[in-house]
Structure 1
Amino acid sequence: MEGLFIPPLDRLLQSLNLMLLDSVYLYLHGLVHWSKLINGSQEVLSSFCGKLRNLSNKALTASPTKPLKIAMTDFPGGSEAFELMAKFCYNSGRAQMITSHSTCLLHSVAHFMDMSDGVSASTNNLLELTEKSLAGLPYWSWPEIMHALKQCEDTFPVSVSSGLLDRVLESAVSRITAVADASPSGSSPESSALRLSVDSRSTISAKNSSHRAWWFEDILSLSPDVIKKIISSMVLQKVDHVLVSKFLMHYLKNAASSSSCNKKRAAEISIELLYSLDGGSSVSCKGLFDVLRVSASLKLSKDCQIKLESMIGRKFDHATLDSLLIPAPAGMDCLYDVSLILRFLKCFLSTRKVRESIARLKQAAKLMDSYLAEIAPDFSLKPPMFLSLATALPDEARDSHDSIYRAIDMYLEVHTQLLEEEKTKLFCAINYEKLSSESCKNLAKNSKFPSRTIIRALISQQRKLRSLLKETSQLKEPSPERNQSKKKQLSSDDQQVILYAKNLEISSENKRLKSQLQGMQWKMTELEKICKKMQAQMEKAMKLRRVSPSGSKSLPRLCS
């Protein structure tokens, strides 16, 4: 092809290359001074380019005596594309120079420069010739398709508006899906000898890429916007969501470890695309926390942050304690980002499937109990926030409130300066009827809890025992006279309840319940002793208060 160039073209390209050295991309940042072009260049290029012809006519009409200056911004493909266009024009529109490696670049130039039918002096026009070449897209090799995508990146605005990018993407996705359907193991569409990446990297060995598909590394080399389009196209063509998710996770980790300035854009695109895959259901909870960790310092957009939190929240019951211990961002007093955990819980509870699953609620409660115990010693954690975390899940999520009690006990151990009002609000998180006898006994001796709370806990324990005895008695089918007798017994005082428990006859199939009652009997006796002692002390304290004119004496410490 070099022998076909006439001298003016050589000098023209040499002149252009010198100017390009001064301004990186002449057509992105500078002016083309038409007067600097070698004799005949204007006529040759204008004979094929409608845009140049129109600009030249307008400039000459506006000022026929001044030197002609034509400015072109955003020339697609920069100097390489201009050189290819010039070669086409100086070779009288020969089609031989249009190959799979130049088609996409020249197609975008043809659109930008209006090199279509009715403009070209030759019987051939660049747009028509590139269209004919694009008709062979289905037969291009994978490296040729990747090279075409790279050229679409270089001419992005034009390749998008002309529809070229969509056509190349469709061909790429079709190749990926065809190979995936034919070879589930993830083999390449070409042999390993031919499967070289377009950026001259070595082939990906099966050993090193067994956990990812053959196309992962090649797609990584594309820009975030092109990746977004190709993955969106794959989703529309119903490519397996798990496979797409694996690529997005791989892409995000690769972007995070690189020095590219596109880290934030890559993270936002990955999150948006993961969210489009059924709300991130195809990604593990651990994987989503990895995304959160990678993107924590990137200052994601508000919408993107909400989507990521929503995906994690829906899988909250699959999280681990280590995942939840997220350091608080700068400006927050507490050690951990407890506000973020509350937002996770809100998303978790907003899911219908969660609300209808007691098992998932209980798993989340178990996790939250561990989290509360971990953050309770944080001196900077405010009581309202601790209470919000303790009460975020509905009551049915916990069969026992022993862990809640222990977490509050630890919190009070550190936060010794709390007001009584603040303590009272914290105690509202405890369902005393769901405390074990052991925890209730411990609470009764706990000096950090006020007497009103202790009495309330003991009364709840008595009520629970009565309920248990009532359920046990209903397992038998007694006569009406015996049933009436039991009702009288159940309405008597606590001593009668204990005596009733001693004398209760339980059938052989209820041996387990009998054993449980016997185990609780001695605990209940201890609780009664404590309760009577408290009542006596309370009566004594009230008498002292009535006798004292100043009323300055404080109540004695109970259960010491």
Structure 2
Amino acid sequence: MVWEQSVPSPNFSTSFANRIFSDVAGDITIVVDGESFLLHKFPLVARSGKIRKLVADTKNASLSKLELPNFPGGPEAFELAAKFCYGLNFEITTTNVAPLRCAAEYLEMTEDCREENLVERTQTYLTQVVCQSLDKSVEVLSACESLLPLADEIGIPDTCISAIARNACREQLVSGLSRLDCNSGSLELRDRCLEWWVEDLSVLGIEFYHRVISAMGQSGVRTDSIVASLMHYAQTSLKGIGKPQIWNPARANPSIGENGQKAIVESLVTLFPTEKSSSIPLNFLFGMTRVAIMVDATLACRLELERRIAYRLEMALLDDLLIPSLQTGYSLFDVDTIHRILVHFLQRIEEEEENEECGYESEGMGSPSHGSLLKVGRLVDAYLAEIAPDPYLSLPKFIAMIEVLPDYARVIDDGLYRAIDIYLKVSFLVITPYSSAIPLRSSITYFASI
């Protein structure tokens, strides 16, 4: 059966239906979202259980007007449903099948009224055409976003989501590219592994996207493909966020758009693969942390990002750590976030060392050697030197950053002394409410004791 062809009703010839629809005066007016349709009762009552009931229940035998409030798909969907009742030709396509299926449900155009009615026609199209294609399933699923909650009640999104996950797995198998091929091959080969459905999913709203990725994970879609999709979705939906606010602590209240972006950030973080060794790039995690701060994401969301960063902190760059602060009257950099990341890093070191003592191998990158601590120690010293010129950086925060790492994280203290020297020079030269004489004497006393 070729579904993209027209689907006339079997009870009316096309020419007869066209003539009735256009030439003969109607006997009932249907109002949908303010738009009126002058139609005939007989073809509508023959196929729509809802209209049949409305006509039968009225006490006015000469009823000439019906209003259909909250009609799914609006006047366009009703017009197609009316054409089906009249037997007029039109095409069922991926563009109109979702609103048409919802319209058929609303109008109760079931087999109880007439065989091969619109509910069955549209449902068959979904099963035989849409569900066989990943692209078509995504297109129909996207159309359902304006048809909620009815679309969910009749199961269109669930049908499309299952089809997307199933087809994603199928295409991975058909491609003949094994996990080993994708992980160990060239960059070009990895791109071929990851690009085939990543961009398609970016058109979905976050609620449907979340359901799709969850279904993909349960059906066995490769983790690296899911990570690639998450990154692309974040880059597409969060593009340009917070640019006017960076380095400007005087933020206005979050707008509706920012609240929507907050939901996106929090939802994406919950979709991250559970494996600690997952291949989420470190710079992407830092970028998501910056965005999470800007949109005021929940503490749980931010802590999850910070823990994941801490797992591979020795691979971070200095620029990654330079997260701007958005709080009024505080340091230019978000020192608190970096401090928490360092605490998580030390907890990870401690846990993995305990596993070593018990004879267990660590997950992911293996046992953290002293070299990992030394790398982080050098990174922190460079970070301290970078934030030291900030006149708004309080002494307690600066000291906390110095003391968070153990002594054996540094072989030499040259980097630390350099940062302290910069901090003291700025404290002497810049007089602010945050660098008065008393904290200055305290800082000299403390640093002299190091």
TM-score, normalization by structure 1: 0.59
Q: Distance in 2 between matches of 1:39 and 1:257?
A: 48
Q: Distance in 1 between matches of 2:190 and 2:374?
A: 41
State the AA in 2 paired with 1:252.
A
| 2:211 counterpart of 1:235 | no
| Aligned match for 1:291, one of 272, 284, 288 | 288
Bigger radius of gyration, 1 or 2? 1
Percentage of pairs with the same residue: 28
Asked whether the 8 Å contact 2:134–2:163 carries over to 1, the reply is no
| 2:120 counterpart of 1:161 | no
- 1:280–1:295 CA distance, 2 compared to 1 (3 A): farther
State the AA in 2 paired with 1:108.
C
1:44 is aligned to 43
The 5 A counterparts of 1:406-425 are: 406-416=418-428
- 1:293–1:384 CA distance, 2 compared to 1 (3 A): closer
1:379 is aligned to 391
User: Match of 2:149, SS?
Assistant: helix
| 2:359 counterpart of 1:362 | no
Residue deviations 1:10-45 (CA, integer Å, cap 9, x gap): 489x9x9998xxxxxx54xx5x7xxx653524x532
The 5 A counterparts of 1:123-522 are: 123-137=115-129, 140-183=132-175, 210=192, 212-257=194-239, 263-274=261-272, 276-278=273-275, 281-293=278-290, 297-351=294-348, 356=353, 357=368, 358-416=370-428, 449=448, 453=449
TM-superposed CA distance for 1:101, in Å, is 6.0
TM-superposed CA distance for 1:324, in Å, is 1.0
TM-superposed CA distance for 1:386, in Å, is 0.6
State the AA in 1 paired with 2:222.
D
State the AA in 2 paired with 1:50.
G
Asked whether the 8 Å contact 1:377–1:414 carries over to 2, the reply is yes
User: Match of 1:379, SS?
Assistant: coil
Asked whether the 8 Å contact 1:101–1:147 carries over to 2, the reply is yes
- 1:65–1:392 CA distance, 2 compared to 1 (3 A): farther
Residue deviations 1:134-169 (CA, integer Å, cap 9, x gap): 442587345433443343334342222222212222
State the AA in 2 paired with 1:106.
L
Paired residue total: 391
1:440 is aligned to none
- 1:323–1:4 CA distance, 2 compared to 1 (3 A): farther
Q: Which has the higher contact order (CA 8 A, sep 6+)?
A: 2
1:201 is aligned to none
Q: Distance in 2 between matches of 1:244 and 1:155?
A: 27
Residue deviations 1:68-127 (CA, integer Å, cap 9, x gap): 553411x322333222211222229x9x96566654443332333333343x1x233332
2:4 is aligned to none
- 1:359–1:298 CA distance, 2 compared to 1 (3 A): same
Residue deviations 1:344-369 (CA, integer Å, cap 9, x gap): 22333343666633443333222111
User: Match of 1:38, SS?
Assistant: strand
1:518 is aligned to none
Q: Distance in 1 between matches of 2:373 and 2:29?
A: 68
- 1:210–1:17 CA distance, 2 compared to 1 (3 A): farther
Q: Distance in 2 between matches of 1:252 and 1:362?
A: 33
| 2:78 counterpart of 1:82 | yes
State the AA in 2 paired with 1:178.
R
State the AA in 2 paired with 1:390.
I
TM-superposed CA distance for 1:234, in Å, is 1.0
TM-superposed CA distance for 1:373, in Å, is 1.6
1:113 is aligned to 107
User: Match of 1:213, SS?
Assistant: helix
The 5 A counterparts of 1:84-103 are: 84-91=80-87, 102-103=96-97
Q: Distance in 2 between matches of 1:110 and 1:307?
A: 45
TM-superposed CA distance for 1:384, in Å, is 0.7
- 1:55–1:309 CA distance, 2 compared to 1 (3 A): farther
State the AA in 2 paired with 1:329.
L
User: RMSD between aligned alpha carbons?
Assistant: 4.2
Q: Distance in 2 between matches of 1:40 and 1:18?
A: 10
Asked whether the 8 Å contact 1:349–1:355 carries over to 2, the reply is no
After TM superposition, which residue ranges in structure 1, 4 or more long, deviate above 6 angstroms?
16-19, 63-67, 206-209
Residue deviations 1:444-487 (CA, integer Å, cap 9, x gap): xxxxx4xxx4xxx7xxxxxxxxxxxxxxxxxxxxxxxxxxxxxx
Asked whether the 8 Å contact 1:313–1:343 carries over to 2, the reply is no
- 1:253–1:426 CA distance, 2 compared to 1 (3 A): farther
1:482 is aligned to none
1:9 is aligned to 21
State the AA in 2 paired with 1:378.
D
2:358 is aligned to none
1:493 is aligned to none
User: Match of 1:351, SS?
Assistant: helix
State the AA in 2 paired with 1:289.
F
